[in-house]
Amino acid sequence: MKKFAICVTETLTRTVVVEVDDDATYDDAEEKVYQAYNNCDIVLNADNSAVDFECEDDTENYMKLFEEDFDDLPVDIK
């Protein structure tokens, strides 16, 4: 049987509204979001985010990477 390596990419996006002091800049607001994200106060998941899904042919890269072992790679989907 023929094998293909397909790269699956899932992108989650969510817009949050940030409140900052009157003299703050956009950069200040962005920094506040970075800190909240790093502290896990903002967690993106399929329940609260827009989800983008795409597939890309990664066969050539995998064949170069694994060379003759490509045919021996385990199959995830049959």
Query: Which tens digits make up the pLDDT trace of 24-68?
Result: 999 999 999 999 999 999 999 989 899 999 999 999 999 999 988
| pLDDT at residue 24, as a whole number | 96
Reported pTM: 0.63
| pLDDT at residue 67, as a whole number | 87
Q: Which residues pair with 73 in a beta bridge?
A: none
Helix segments in 1-78, DSSP class H: 26-38, 59-66
| pLDDT at residue 51, as a whole number | 92
Whole-angstrom distance, CA of residue 59 vs CA of residue 3: 8
Please answer whether residues 6 and 58 qualify as being in contact, where contact means their C-beta atoms are separated by less than 8 angstroms.
yes
| pLDDT at residue 18, as a whole number | 95
- The number of angstroms, rounded, from the C-alpha of 49 to the middle of its chain's C-alpha atoms is 12
Token pair, residue 40, equals: 């896990």
Token pair, residue 45, equals: 């998941």
| pLDDT at residue 1, as a whole number | 84
